[in-house]
């Protein structure tokens, strides 16, 4: 299963609409969800195939080395 994660802040419209739209397509082995991680370690899988970052331009999201 490939997961698409969306990382966001105070937005109330785009993130849920994005997740709903991707999941409504019912593509085999693809699911979208809100990112559920506390840190990212470089070289280790986060479990997401793609993370759409909608917040780090305002609040830095740091990858641990």
Residue 38 is predicted with a pLDDT of 75
Q: What is the reported pLDDT for 37?
A: 78
CA 44 to each of CA 29, 52, 59, 65: distance values in angstroms, whole numbers, following the listed order = 21, 18, 22, 10
Count of domains forming the chain: 1
Q: What angle do CA 51, 7, 5 make, to 5 degrees?
A: 40
For residue 62, what is the DSSP state? Answer: P
Per-residue pLDDT, 41: 77
- Domain enclosing residue 14, as ranges: 2-64
Written as tens digits, the pLDDT of the chain (65 aa) is 999 999 998 899 999 999 999 999 999 999 999 998 777 778 888 899 999 999 877 776 666 65
């Amino acid at each position: 299963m490939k997961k698409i994660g969306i990382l966001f802040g105070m937005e109330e419209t785009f993130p849920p609409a994005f997740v709903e739209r991707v999941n409504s397509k019912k593509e085999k082995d693809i699911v979208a969800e809100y990112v559920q991680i506390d840190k990212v370690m470089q070289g280790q899988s986060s479990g997401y195939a793609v993370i759409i970052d909608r917040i780090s331009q305002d609040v830095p999201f740091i990858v641990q080395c």
